[in-house]
Each structure stands twice: as structure tokens, then as C-alpha cells.
Amino acid sequence: MRYADAVTSFTSYLERVRRLSPATVRAYRSDLADLGAVVADVDLREIDLELLREWLWRATRRGDARSTLARRAAAARSFFGWAHESELIPVDPSLRLVTPKRSKTLPVVASQDGMRDLLDQLRAAAAAGDPLALRDHAILEALYGSGMRVSELCGVDVDDVDMDRRTVRVLGKGARERVVPYGAPAADAIGAYLSRGRPALMARAAQSTPALFLGARGARIGARTVYALVARVLSPIVGAEHVGPHALRHSAATHLLDGGADLRAVQEILGHASLGTTQIYTHVSAERLLAGYRLAHPRA
């Protein structure tokens, strides 16, 4: 099979069998397209380890980050592993492909005081009754209060929210459904948005939608709109120019652990398939503890 045809079959497999998110499939497709620029549309059996090493070497010379190189190597291993299992190639050439180690950078986390001040400001802005201000306040409270992903938030329908139990049903990675809790401030913000904000936005729509959060024209809100909102209000708090909704997820997880939450419980709330993914937040909490110690202790 030719390389391009194999990539098409592989991405179809990711969508239909593994049921990965569209964003994840696009990332695989992008990484394999980068490899395709090097190997051209050859027969899949002609690609060997040396060609894969050449591909990563070119990316290194181009200045790609180590995290990008690691992700592309992982995409290649997944692709050729699938091709070998599908008997498209006799030998998997990626088995000995060395993955560059990712740099260990800790995620951006807002302080608890910073989040409290920010959410107080948004609540005050929403008090005037502007539908977009009500929506923005509810979105920030929901993201921080539940730790959900931006894709999960955008996919939430009104019927997914249980106002009595203060939980929301979300569809996570791999089409895995889970129920996550949120607190009283988020419940108040969502309630105000549902009663005063959402009806006003829905009146602008060409057709009705079950979506909980709506854009300015009344359609289901998109991830880009949420990114722009979070970047605008959160950047001054964390002191980083490029910050998105995931920083609220990082902050929620870190503050849960700082408050004594069990690591397994945080894993369930975040929807991580592996506990190892959740454990990075223990490092964040430890770093914050050390920073406080060094500032406060006279013998630090």
C-alpha cells in the first residue's frame, strides 16, 4: 500500500475504531503529513528506520521543540504499529526509533487568591445583566469549578447539567462519559446565566440548540471563543501571554490537591485514563510548598 493511502486508512481507524477526538486525529494527520514530506508517496514497505531517523533529524535542524519531536515520533510508532498489526508491512521500522525526552516544564497555575479576585470581578460585571457577561462568568466558574476540558465544556447541553446535585455530564477523550461535580459559586453563575443570559442569546439564533453555552449569535459556543475569553481575563493573573482554558484545569487540579483531595479522586474528576498523568499536579503542589518555605523560613 502507498504511504498516503495507508495514512488515510489509519486516520479512519482512529476515528471509527479508537474513537479519538477530532483534534487528536488532526494532530496525527499533521505529524504523518510532515513525515510524508520526507518519504514521499512510496510503498509503505520501503520506509525503514534510517528514513525515520532522517525525518526527525531534519525536524531537529529546523528547530522543532523537543515536545514536538516526541509527539511526532509517538505518532509514527502508532502508525507503523497499526500497519504491522494490519499486515501491511512485515516489520515495524519504528520499534527502535528513539524518542527525544520531553522537557519537564510544570503547567501554568493561577494562585487561589488570583482566581478569587478574578471570579469576583466577573460576578460584579455580570450583575448588570448583560447576557455575554453572565455567560463569561458562568464559563469561568464552570471550567475552574469542575476542571473540565474546553472541548467538554463546549459539548455540554442544558440537559447534561443537574442543578440539584451540582454535577454535569461530559463526554471526554475517547468518547468516555463521566459526571463531574462543581461548587456553589459555579451553580449560582450557571443559574443566573440560564435564567437571564441564555434566553437572550437564544433569541438571536436562527434555530434552537440544546447547547448550554452559546455564542454571541445564539449558536453553540466554539473552543476559539472560550480560548479568547480565558486568554483575555487570565493572562494578567498568571503573568503569561499565551494562556488558555487548560490553565484553569491545571489550577483546579492543583488547588484540589493543595486542599487535601485524594489523587485518585482528582484523576476521576479530570477524566485521566492514567494516574501518572494526574501525578504532575503533585509536583506542582510540591514546588509551591518549597517556594513558600523558601520565602518564609529564616533558615531556608
Residues 263/269/271/275 CA torsion (nearest 10 deg): 0
Residue indicated by cell numbers 494516574: 275
- Catalytic member of 29, 196, 272, 288: 272
**Radius of gyration of the chain from Cα atoms?**
23
Active site (annotated) includes residue 255: no
- Catalytic member of 123, 198, 249, 255: 249
Give the contacts of 52 (CB within 8 A, at least 6 positions apart): 35, 76, 93, 94, 97
Would you give the end-to-end CA distance of the chain in angstroms? 63
Active site (annotated) includes residue 104: no
CA angle in degrees (0–180, nearest 5) for 28-30-32: 70
Active site (annotated) includes residue 149: yes
Active site (annotated) includes residue 281: yes
- Catalytic member of 173, 178, 220, 288: 173
Active site (annotated) includes residue 61: no
- Cβ 14 vs Cβ 26: under 8 Å: no
In single-letter form, the type of residue at position 198 comes to R
Active site (annotated) includes residue 18: no
Q: Which three cell numbers stand for residue 177?
A: 462519559
DSSP state of 105: P
- Cβ 114 vs Cβ 233: under 8 Å: no
- Catalytic member of 72, 123, 149, 198: 149
User: What are the residue numbers of the active site?
Assistant: 149, 173, 246, 249, 272, 281
